[in-house]
A and B are shown apart, each in its own frame.
Chain A
């Protein structure tokens, strides 16, 4: 199978993730969409790595996984602490600061 198809899949996943961040309202779902974008990047990196015949892209894919794990730790800590206060994870409720 032509590896370029994986690039189209990666672009599609990235777009779904980005659209999800823009339209969804629950902080956890937003966060999952960001993770989807990171995974789309990983798929693109691995595919390009194969196309170019060097391993750099796969190495960055590993780094991305570690970074994503660290991001989960920080992000869930923040979202859970705000959920405990407001009993809601909807980002529409976070509107104390307005222009």
Chain B
């Protein structure tokens, strides 16, 4: 009682005149600041530019912002942040270390590929001379209503998707770098809220799209409420939100205060808090049993958004998960590892088995992403430096393969838009061998066939998990990879060895945007599979978290 009173008095009496200004290292925060700056400029462009200029401005602005931020990441990495020096910036709330920089680079690359897919306007035939993209003419208009028809006729376009995506990317850049639970929570919301909106903006099948958005929104905010209450309990235990401080309190090396003396007696606060924070993060990575939103949202969202979400959200959320478990809770390893084992096993097995029964390409890729979350979790469980490096590499490989696969899905179309039902993909290899071969390459990489990026990634995480004493997990991982390989191969067989349907889908000829995205995906998939050594070294050099 009295100490709170004195704190209050100190803040009111002496503090007001001389609150020291916080030290903000703008240069070292520049990747995030550039992306947020580009997003704000995008909002201004949306408000003030005439409609015909918006699309070009937004695409240029988004690509330029992401490229500039990527250059900023490279400059910071070149300065030795992440390898030789690392540290905490913005008063200790943001960490600038290897995993943060590496994942920021991966997220920015995913963002570039996603913006290229957003900008594709040649897949649908022009209506009244207006080129159509994947997004609805006007998000507020009811599907099928008069307002929607008028908006389409007037040639409206949802160019606000570009600034929304930039805000989401900004939050994702902050999420794996957040060094306290407050920053982590804010970053979580900053990247989630734009994604909820983006899901609702599909041009075709708008009812599905809106349904996906409402499901994602309700379940996502439910999960972030768990994250927040867990943060409150951890704060109650440790008296601080900062991850290194929580580590110190658990290790018993923090300076003792009367409040800590009683709260650290109470392991319930610590364990329940950790569990609830982990639930929030497991939801974002799509781990079983918190995966139920994944197939519906992936199916309903516009395909470029699905690709972006599948890749970048997973990268950001695994970055935060790694930081949480490796910086704040290494001392509790023997408490969290059994639970993580159970989650990883369930995720791998359920993801692989349910994928076998899917009849829709987007849902199939959704379950495959769940299975991949399980494989990445085995690398997290390894709890050694090798595991961190393996997870970083896996996320890099997974990003390109996923975005490439969803880019291919946008191209296979019939009169109603994308033809995502598997039966309509039959015989695709006879009609357009190149596209089918590219998709087969991505599927083989998902399956982890040697000489693809997916194999290198899987090998790295399983090796790390075995070295970290999780051999049974590796065996289950390999077995579920085999199950997963079955349904990837099934799609390949369907594409190449069955007869095409008489009025099946056609493959749209994409513009340079989608072609570039797919080509980058192919180059990365083959490159990371054939010559992975440079990037493996980079990932293992970056695999060091900065503590204090």
Contacts and interface: CB of A to CB of B under 8 A. Distances in A.
Contact of A74 (B181, B197, B211, B222): B197
Given A38-B225, A81-B139, A97-B299, A75 B217 contact: yes
Q: How large is the interface on A (under 10, 10 to 19, 20 to 34, 35 or more residues)?
A: 35 or more
Interface in B466-484: none
Interface string B224-236: 0110110111011
A60 to B, nearest CB: 5
Interface residues of B, number: 54
Given A17-B225, A78-B210, A54 B7 contact: yes
B233 A97 contact: no
Contacts of B200: 78, 81
Contacts of B193: 70-71, 74
B228 A78 contact: no
A81 B197 CA distance: 11
A27 B11 contact: no
B182, B196, B218, B295, most chain A CB atoms within 10 A: B218
Interface in B190-204: 193, 196-197, 200
Contacts of A67: 185-186, 189
A34 B241 contact: no
B291 interface: no
A78 B217 contact: yes
Nearest to A50: B4
B16 interface: no
A96 B209 CA distance: 10
A63 B217 contact: no
A40 B236 CA distance: 14
Contacts of B218: 21, 27, 30-31, 34, 75, 91
Interface string B137-150: 00110111100000
B214 interface: yes
Contacts of A50: 4
A38 to B, nearest CB: 6
Contacts of A23: none
A31 B217 CA distance: 9
Nearest to B183: A63
Given A51-B263, A97-B299, A56 B240 contact: yes
B47 interface: no
A29 B530 CA distance: 53
B248 interface: no
B128 interface: no
Given A51-B259, A77-B197, A70 B189 contact: yes
Nearest to B218: A30
Interface string A39-66: 0110011011111111111011001100
Interface of A: 7, 10, 14, 17-18, 21, 27, 30-31, 34, 37-38, 40-41, 44-45, 47-57, 59-60, 63-64, 67, 70-71, 74-75, 77-79, 81-82, 84-86, 91, 94, 96-97, 99
Interface of B: 3-4, 7, 11, 139-140, 142-145, 181-182, 185-186, 189, 193, 196-197, 200, 206-208, 210-215, 217-218, 221-222, 225-226, 228-229, 231-233, 235-236, 239-241, 257, 259-260, 263, 295-296, 299-300, 354, 357
